[in-house]
Amino acid sequence: MLLAIETSCDETAAAVLDPGSGEILSNVIHSQVDDHRIHGGVVPELASRCHVAALPGVVARALAEAGVGWSSVEALAVTRGPGLATSLLTGVVYARGLAMRLGVPLFGVNHLAGHLHSIWIGKDLLETPVYPHLVLLVSGGHTCLVHRTGLDAWTVMGQTLDDAAGEALDKGARLMGLGYPGGPEVQRTAAGGDAAAVAFPRGNPPPGSGGWAFPFSFSGLKTALLYHLRKHPDDTGAARLPHVAASYQEAVVDTLVRRVEQAVATVPAMVIGCAGGVARNTRLREKLAAAGRRLGVPVRFADPLLCADNAAMIAAAAQVCYRPFFPQGTGVDVTPGLPVDVR
């Protein structure tokens, strides 16, 4: 059994994968969102202390739910970056201790490789990826478009130059007086709103900006919302807010979908994938699926349960992208700024 641990931000997570059958036997996620809510965002020092407290229980639950004991664990995986340094450190130190105690190999996994691979986890079962494919990875910390040509081969085609898509939703939600985390709040408030009510900009930077063929930018959109609300203070009232939220959400979604359409026109892709916390967004799912139909390319979304940070995706990436290449495990230290395309 492969036991994976994820503590890159504010979710303490552990999962057990049966490498023989490719089945995810358990996937336990302890979210700290209630611990951070009063602060309106993740407080790193608080997150690491919560990880330390939660890790033993979360790991024990993952083993119990999988119905396996310590003696069955023959490999470990842990997120080594990117993420919050002190959060990563708690998971890595814990996993290193376990690896020494159990005498098993430990794989230090790139969190983003986990998100990339999450689209290939079917109903609790690893599926065989189809190459080449394109993945739109959208979370609170990352927005990037990745072209994947093999198990261990992925190239970044574009990244955000400023805010991530989830960050734009979180900050936008705060401006609208909505709660944290903002993405789900914007989606809930937008239901029934008119997405054409406010003409927010869909301003991706020109190709080549920041050195990316397909750069993203959301800071202009956030500023447009700020100015709109200053000019129309009544728009945060119950009658108008759904329209503003729907319009804002639509601008984020259109910006993302447009980039995917442009990228598919320039590189071969058998599948378009979408992963990360923002991939839970129902409007993004609708519009990206529609774009896929127009382009004649099937779209695969990570299962909603695997969109947010979780250890099942870390287990999957370890098993598929690391184990065949480094049977003894990888040297594991934290790398908070680990880039997407470094394994």
Task: Catalog residues that contact ligand KG4 under the rule CB under 6 A.
Answer: 9, 139-141, 166, 169-170, 181-184, 187, 276-278, 280-281, 308-309
Question: What is the smallest separation between the CB atom of 115 and Zn ion, expressed in angstroms?
Answer: 6
Question: What is the smallest separation between the CB atom of 137 and ligand KG4, expressed in angstroms?
Answer: 9
CB 328 within 8 A of CB 105: yes
Number of residues that bind Zn ion (CB under 5 A): 2
Nearer to Zn ion, 78 or 245 (CB): 78
Question: What is the smallest separation between the CB atom of 110 and ligand KG4, expressed in angstroms?
Answer: 13
Compute the 3-state secondary structure of the chain and give helix, strand, coil in percent, each to the nearest 5: 45, 20, 35
Question: What is the smallest separation between the CB atom of 238 and ligand KG4, expressed in angstroms?
Answer: 21
Task: Provide the 10 A C-beta neighbour count for residue 222.
Answer: 22
Crossing angle of helices 182-190/282-295, nearest 10°?
80
Secondary structure, 3-state, 208-240: CHHHCCCCECCHHHHHHHHHHHHHCHHHHCCCC
List the single partner that 182 binds among Zn ion, ligand KG4, none, CB under 5 to 8 Å by kind. Answer: ligand KG4
Strands (E), the chain: 2-6, 11-18, 23-31, 75-81, 106-110, 133-138, 143-150, 153-159, 271-275, 299-301
Q: What is d(CA 289, CA 294) in angstroms, rounded to the nearest whole number? A: 9
Closest C-alpha to 252, from 200, 292, 181, 306 = 200
283 to 342, contacts with Zn ion by CB under 5 A? 309
Strands 153-159 and 143-150: antiparallel
Nearer to ligand KG4, 140 or 292 (CB): 140
Nearer to Zn ion, 107 or 200 (CB): 107
Closest C-alpha to 73, from 17, 5, 12, 6 = 17
List the single partner that 114 binds among ligand KG4, Zn ion, none, CB under 5 to 8 Å by kind. Answer: none
By CB under 5 A, residue 86 contacts Zn ion: no
At residue 100, φ and ψ (nearest 5 deg) are -65, -45
List the single partner that 203 binds among Zn ion, ligand KG4, none, CB under 5 to 8 Å by kind. Answer: none
List the single partner that 184 binds among Zn ion, ligand KG4, none, CB under 5 to 8 Å by kind. Answer: ligand KG4
At residue 167, φ and ψ (nearest 5 deg) are -65, -40
Nearer to ligand KG4, 99 or 299 (CB): 299
Question: What is the smallest separation between the CB atom of 126 and ligand KG4, expressed in angstroms?
Answer: 20
Residue-by-residue DSSP string for 76-119 = EEEEEESS-HHHHHHHHHHHHHHHHHHT--EEEEEHHHHHHHHT
CB 6 within 8 A of CB 298: no
List the single partner that 187 binds among ligand KG4, Zn ion, none, CB under 5 to 8 Å by kind. Answer: ligand KG4
Question: What is the smallest separation between the CB atom of 215 and ligand KG4, expressed in angstroms?
Answer: 19
Binding residue (CB under 5 A) for Zn ion from 139, 159, 204, 281: 139
List the single partner that 169 binds among Zn ion, ligand KG4, none, CB under 5 to 8 Å by kind. Answer: ligand KG4
CA 177 to chain centre: 25
Nearer to Zn ion, 139 or 247 (CB): 139
List the single partner that 281 binds among Zn ion, ligand KG4, none, CB under 5 to 8 Å by kind. Answer: ligand KG4
Question: What is the smallest separation between the CB atom of 277 and Zn ion, expressed in angstroms?
Answer: 7
List residues near Zn ion by CB under 5 A. Answer: 139, 309
